[in-house]
């Protein structure tokens, strides 16, 4: 059986890590928080409020892609949390590997409130506008409203996954 690789994407504060971890637990598979693969220079820029450029993101996306390919080749299911805001970033991540995209969609106001409440994270609320400016909503993704509780979001995702699997068989 082919490995299922799911990428949970959206702007900072949408709940990618929280929902991704819960989803991985539900599916009994590994979870990768893409933020853990940012080079120190990227984290330093974001900590000081400087948005990343495409050039800054390239090695980060390559590192995530390498982990995706490794899991796929080993036949291991994987849930990845990664902003993947632009279609070209998603193209990089999905090169040679079929991915399932889960898009966490929410209003700027709701997500700004979450970012203001979040502590101990390098992404600041003042950078949210740049995230929404870069966001190219994905076509064909499982789209989840971030206003629902994380556990409800996971139930919705699992339901869609099961429906897709049933149609494929």
Confidence tier at 129 by pLDDT (50, 70, 90): confident
Question: Quick check: 123 pLDDT over 70?
Answer: no
Would you state the pLDDT for residue 11?
94
CATH of the domain at 151: 3.40.50.300
Question: Quick check: 122 pLDDT over 70?
Answer: no
pLDDT in tens, 104-120: 999 999 998 887 776 55
> Considering its fold, how many domains does the chain have in total?
1
Query: Percent of the chain having pLDDT more than 90?
Result: 71
How far is the CA of 102 from the CAs of 21, 61, 140, in angstroms? 13, 17, 9
Question: Quick check: 24 pLDDT over 90?
Answer: yes
- CA dist., res. 135 & res. 105, Å (int): 10
Question: Quick check: 149 pLDDT over 90?
Answer: yes
Q: What's the domain range around 14?
A: 5-168
Q: DSSP alpha helices (H): ranges in 16-142?
A: 16-27, 40-47, 54-73, 87-94, 108-117, 128-134
Would you state the pLDDT for residue 90?
98
* Strands 30-33 vs 78-81: parallel, antiparallel or unpaired: parallel
- CA dist., res. 133 & res. 46, Å (int): 16
């Amino acid at each position: 059986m082919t490995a299922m690789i799911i990428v949970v994407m959206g702007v900072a504060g949408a709940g990618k890590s929280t929902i991704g971890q819960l989803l991985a637990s539900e599916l009994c598979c590994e979870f990768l928080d893409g933020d853990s693969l940012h080079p120190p220079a990227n984290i330093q820029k974001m900590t000081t409020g400087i948005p990343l450029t495409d050039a800054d993101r390239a090695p980060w996306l390559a590192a995530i892609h390498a982990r995706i390919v490794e899991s796929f080749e080993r036949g291991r299911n994987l849930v990845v949390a990664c902003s993947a805001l632009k279609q070209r970033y998603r193209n990089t991540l999905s090169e040679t590997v079929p991915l399932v995209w889960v898009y966490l969609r929410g209003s700027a106001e709701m997500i700004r409130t979450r970012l203001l409440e979040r502590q101990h994270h390098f992404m600041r609320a003042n950078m949210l506008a740049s995230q929404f400016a870069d966001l190219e909503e994905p076509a064909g993704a499982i789209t989840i409203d971030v206003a629902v509780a994380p556990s409800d979001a996971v139930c919705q995702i699992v339901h869609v996954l099961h429906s897709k699997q049933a149609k494929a068989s």
